[in-house]
Structure 1
């Protein structure tokens, strides 16, 4: 049976071949090899539809061993920390309230083939919303992008973090433990391709958080971090026209993006309910169970998960 995946444009296919080692004629057998391995893992119960699994193969440049590790970590972390990584109810009133404020938006026009996203923590009052609640909205959006945004999966995502309106209250909510979990998930479990993170309108206290996150990241990702005092410095990397209208650009408006994503939350309602059916059971894991406390204790250095 042919692989049940979306067709992609010639340009995207060329990029998938050149940068991700994709061989279109071999996709079916690559997916089959991954599914065979999944069936042999008593502790692992993941989604197995082709469109979901090919995102992991592409995110790991078709290395089967890396794909196995990433898929395992994805469901391991979601099972252990569902409040951070596994949303099952997109009709939660607070989740929707935050989504409508637009702290996180993805923009319609691509920059060199990459998706452009914006994170504006300052639009959510730290007195009313927690960082965890805002991150849950981002988690939903990431998961939807994982399922439907071939540009983000194949070419990558450029993120702009605008800290205008942020307060020390926002930063105080980001504990070292949460930072470690999020860094591990984004780098080791999520099959997205981050191509750059740009910080603008930084405030007092930002440096402390920045210096907490940075050492947890791989050297490659550290090299993709850029701090800009003002927007003029940002536009040397992200030309103005790729920013939304509210920033003087031509890349749609934040209001439009919020509306588009509100509809997507509706469309994916059953998909997220279904999340409750997937995960891992550490009691059934072959070999030694993962000691999460030693990995994520707030003291000591962060050690990478080892579930290959």
Structure 2
């Protein structure tokens, strides 16, 4: 595939496809196509994967999210299906990451958590660390969303408590990318005002307008039909070697002893 699928909300620069492919060293003519064909053949050979007809773009974004590694892309696709079997409560007709996987073309992403109006005392006492770690693991390992920056904005002293909780579930590599600010000045320098909403002192539309637009798209029949189809892509664990499941997914329901967030 030599183009990014059209969509109603995401905007790309003209050289996005070429730049991302160059950054993962799959930019020469035919290289990405060859990698996709290898993965398509591999998928057909996996007896435990119930879905075999993933689109070329889905496979390509798996390669991109794996930094160009075919072996890592195999693991990502396997986990994409397996987690639907092991943690089905995380999947339904609501997954924002599903749209990203089918329409976006990103090498990495940055996450902004604005807690300036949150009741931090209530927030830190009710956050479920197990579910939070499971959710982050799904985003990173199943959808290939590589975190290169986490930015927390808050004026509360209790933000240190929240960061301490995150330190219990995230690896040092991710924690080193977490930054805490009391205002938006540094965000404007790092990310740029043209992509930040007005609530974060940027020039983009308001968060409410952006949210309403996303809700409209994600609740459309076209997208919900797509989500239903992808949710059929789980696994038949009776057809996977037991030792392989234990090796790769030991502790998944609770502790994630194997699936650490890199």
Superposition deviation, residue 5 in structure 1: 5.6
Superposed CA offset, 1:30-52 (max 9, x none): 11110111111111234511111
CA distance, structure 1, for counterparts of residue 102 and residue 178 of structure 2: 26
**Aligned ranges 1:1-308 → 2 under 5 Å:** 3=1, 6=4, 11-23=15-27, 24-46=29-51, 48-84=54-90, 86-87=91-92, 89-90=93-94, 140-150=95-105, 153-154=106-107, 156-167=108-119, 168-265=121-218, 266=220, 267-288=222-243, 289-290=245-246, 294-297=251-254, 302-305=256-259
Superposed CA offset, 1:162-193 (max 9, x none): 01232233333322321331232233222123
Superposed CA offset, 1:252-279 (max 9, x none): 2223212321221114121122233111
Please give the TM-score of this superposition, normalised by the length of structure 1. Answer: 0.70
Distance 1:218 1:239, change over 3 A: same
CA distance, structure 2, for counterparts of residue 294 and residue 193 of structure 1: 22
Partner SS state of residue 204, structure 2? coil
Check the 8 A contact 2:3/2:17 in 1, yes or no.
Answer: no
Tell me the residue number matched to 2:9.
Answer: none
Check the 8 A contact 2:116/2:154 in 1, yes or no.
Answer: yes
Please give the TM-score of this superposition, normalised by the length of structure 2. Answer: 0.81
Superposition deviation, residue 293 in structure 1: 6.8
Gaps of 5+ in 2: 6-11
Superposed CA offset, 1:209-258 (max 9, x none): 32232353344322221111222343342344432123332012223212
Runs of 4+, deviation exceeding 6 Å = none
Tell me the residue number matched to 2:8.
Answer: none
Distance 1:5 1:283, change over 3 A: farther
Superposition deviation, residue 4 in structure 1: 8.2
CA distance, structure 1, for counterparts of residue 234 and residue 2 of structure 2: 22
CA distance, structure 1, for counterparts of residue 140 and residue 200 of structure 2: 29
CA distance, structure 2, for counterparts of residue 51 and residue 21 of structure 1: 17
CA distance, structure 2, for counterparts of residue 279 and residue 191 of structure 1: 17
Partner SS state of residue 235, structure 1? helix
Partner SS state of residue 208, structure 1? helix
Between Structure 1 and Structure 2, which shows a larger proportion of strand residues? Answer: 1
Gaps of 5+ in 1: 91-139
CA distance, structure 2, for counterparts of residue 22 and residue 192 of structure 1: 19
CA distance, structure 2, for counterparts of residue 276 and residue 186 of structure 1: 15
Check the 8 A contact 1:4/1:50 in 2, yes or no.
Answer: no
